[in-house]
């Protein structure tokens, strides 16, 4: 393929035609042909060149604008993915962890997540490759690191839920513990045994630490990516996470600025 596109083909042909016109004009001058004899041809060639050049510039501008829009869309999609992840983990934090964060028996008081948690952080790194040339070329590495942390935390949540369902609850049922019943820490430890107790404590401590980290890290990344895209693509609408009023209990909402 000689030419990458139709516009490139036209502009090359126009340039060649223009050069041919100049060449013919020089020949005409040398051979004493009157200017009026070749003026219409030259005007036609100049007009063809100007039209082709204008069409090329217009198409080139459209292509550049399209590429910018694709980058903006990719960036907004990444922010939205981060927001979804943030909202999911802040929900776990508020509903499952915070009510029992200071509870002495939090390793069993924090209930398991019903059903397998499959919430991950889906990012299209190919569409985000333009970030390598941005003001923060390390942004992709930060996103990749956070994605790995999310995957590890999801696996941890599922593992703890499985242990809680399959081991802790059967032991509690066998010991006669009922929901709402006051049970001492010593009774729980005695019923579960040392090994299961320590396993649940380790899993719960990691759960709290990892979930807290994901909540704070995704919030920071959302803000950083928003500011980066705003500086790179001025005048374009960039998704921004807006925290709700204190009276509302749902997670942060999305907006564009």
Identify the residue with better confidence: 30 or 105.
105
Question: What is the average pLDDT across 39-53?
Answer: 61
Tokens of 44: 């036609």
Question: What's the mean per-residue pLDDT of the chain?
Answer: 80
- Decide if 167 contacts 112 (C-beta within 8 A): no
Question: What is the average pLDDT across 89-102?
Answer: 94
- Residue 52's pLDDT band (boundaries 50, 70, 90)? low
Identify the residue with better confidence: 2 or 6.
6
Does residue 38 have a pLDDT over 70? no
The overall pTM is greater than 0.85: no
Element (H, E) at 197: helix 185-232
| pLDDT recorded at residue 39 | 56
pLDDT in tens, 197-244: 999 999 999 999 999 999 999 999 999 999 999 998 988 898 888 765
| pLDDT recorded at residue 250 | 46
- Residue 68's pLDDT band (boundaries 50, 70, 90)? confident
Q: Which of 60, 87, 27 is nearest to 211 (CA)?
A: 87
When mean pLDDT is compared across 53-62, 116-125, 185-194, 210-219, the lowest value belongs to: 53-62
- Residue 66's pLDDT band (boundaries 50, 70, 90)? confident
Write down how long the chain is.
Answer: 257
Name beta bridge partners: 255: 240
User: What letters, b where the CB count within 10 A reaches 16 and e where it falls short, cover 218-242?
Assistant: bbebbeebbebbbebeeebebbbbe
Name beta bridge partners: 242: 253
What CA–CA distance (Å, rounded) separates 62 from 143?
30
Question: What is the average pLDDT across 157-174?
Answer: 92
Does residue 41 have a pLDDT over 50? yes
> Could you give phi then psi for residue 135, rounded to 5 degrees?
-70, -20
pLDDT in tens, 99-130: 999 999 999 999 998 766 667 788 899 999 99
SS3 244: coil
pLDDT in tens, 167-177: 999 998 888 87
When mean pLDDT is compared across 26-40, 73-87, 177-191, the lowest value belongs to: 26-40
């Amino acid at each position: 393929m000689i030419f990458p596109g139709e516009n490139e083909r036209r502009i090359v042909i126009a340039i060649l035609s223009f050069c041919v016109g100049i060449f013919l004009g020089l020949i005409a001058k040398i051979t004493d042909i009157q200017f009026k004899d070749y003026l219409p041809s030259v005007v036609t060639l100049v007009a063809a060149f100007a039209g082709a050049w204008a069409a090329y510039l217009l198409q080139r501008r459209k292509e550049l604008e399209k590429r910018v829009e694709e980058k903006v869309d990719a960036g907004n999609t990444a922010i939205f993915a981060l927001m979804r992840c943030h909202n999911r983990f802040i929900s776990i934090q508020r509903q499952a962890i915070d009510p029992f964060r200071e509870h002495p028996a939090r390793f069993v008081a924090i209930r398991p997540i019903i059903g397998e948690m499959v919430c991950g952080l889906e990012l299209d790194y190919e569409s985000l490759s333009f970030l390598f040339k941005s003001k923060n070329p390390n942004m992709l590495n930060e996103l990749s690191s956070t994605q790995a942390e999310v995957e590890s935390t999801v696996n941890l949540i599922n593992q703890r839920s499985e242990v809680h369902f399959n081991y802790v609850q059967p032991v509690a049922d066998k010991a006669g513990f009922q929901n709402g019943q006051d049970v001492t820490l010593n009774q729980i430890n005695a019923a579960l045994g040392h090994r299961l107790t320590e396993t649940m404590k380790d899993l719960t401590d990691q759960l709290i630490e990892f979930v807290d980290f994901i909540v704070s890290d995704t919030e920071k990344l959302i803000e950083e990516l928003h500011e980066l895209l705003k500086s790179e693509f001025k005048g374009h609408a960039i998704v921004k996470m807006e925290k709700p009023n204190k009276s509302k209990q749902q997670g942060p909402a999305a907006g564009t600025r």
